[in-house]
Amino acid sequence: MAEAVQEREQVLVEFNESLEQRIAERTFELRQARDEALAAQRIANENARLKSEFLATMSHELRTPMNAIEGFTSIMLSGMGGVEFNEKTGRYVQRVNANSKRLLGLINDFLDLSRIESGRLELANLPFSPRDAAMRWKEEIGVLAQKKNLNFEVSIDPDIPETVRGDEEALSKVALNLLSNAIKFTETGSVALKLESDDDAWRIEVSDTGIGIPMHAREFIFEEFRQVDQSTKRKYGGTGLGLAIAQRFVRSMGGTITVKSEVGQGSTFTVTLPATREPENVAEVIA
């Protein structure tokens, strides 16, 4: 009897020992897996940082010579440099000038994107007048609408605050991008810019009577390099960076950007911003 008890105790002890050993082994394996995951994450973060830094440096370096090409060809075309062309060379210089402008735009987009991604974007938080900004956008973009014979309507809610705090330059990039898209993707009808306001927010609404955006594309068009489909690029050009940058800028300002659309009828993009922006750490907001 005593022997049987002893034997059972022995079995129990051995069972406990093997259990403890298995737990220790499993704990070791889990720790190892956790350390490996942490190391992989550190490498991924470092790679992302290096990529953004590389893009920022490259864009900056490319901008300087491109500015020179654009600047000097503009001077030549304006006749200020005392350079004379015949009709053919004039056309060539015009092409160089137009393409350098396009390339500069692209480089600036890359620079914006890489600055945002690396958390190095510093947005201003200064007072500006939304009404005056809208008038400038109208002036800047109105000619494009005229060229395509589109109506361009601007309406400003009388309750819009006299001044709001924020980064006017960044917001102008957002608005001009939405407006130039609206014009680009509209063949007939109109494009409208509306400023609206309620208690604690104000909105920039850009609508058009253009080709519209299919349901499945309404989210991914805000991702980098995404366009509705391949035919968009063939027909309208563009890079698919504008909305990605616009969304990041708007989020950094504590706002949102949304789209409503009907294929063949048109689209409306709405940027909603807090009426007074509190100072905040942009890098944190983007993360």
Segment 43-51 long-range contacts (CB within 8 Å, at least 24 positions apart): 48/117, 49/118, 51/117
152 sits near ligand ADP (criterion: CB under 6 A): no
Closest distance to ligand ADP from the beta carbon of 65 (Å): 24
Nearer to ligand ADP, 88 or 234 (CB): 234
CB of 170 to ligand ADP, least distance (A): 15
Assess 172 for contact with ligand ADP (CB under 6 A).
no
Q: Which stretch binds ligand ADP (CB under 6 A): 79-87, 155-163, 207-215, 279-287?
A: 207-215
123 binds ligand ADP (CB under 6 A): no
CA distance 86 to 221: 44
Q: Residue 232 interacts with ligand ADP (CB under 6 A)?
A: yes
Question: How many alpha carbons fall within 13 Å on the CB side of residue 124?
Answer: 11
Sign of the CA dihedral with 252 first, then 59, 238, and 137 last: positive
Alpha-carbon gap, residue 180 to 184, rounded angstroms: 6
Among 208, 249, 250, 277, the residue binding ligand ADP under the rule CB under 6 A is 208
* Binding of ligand ADP by 252 (CB under 6 A): no
- Residue pair 186/235 in contact (Cβ under 8 Å)? The answer is no
> CA separation (Å) from 261 to 185, 230, 255?
12, 19, 20
How many residues make contact with ligand ADP (CB under 6 A)? Answer: 20
Chain residues that interact with ligand ADP, rule: CB under 6 A: 177, 181-182, 185, 208, 210-211, 213, 221, 227-228, 232, 238-244, 267
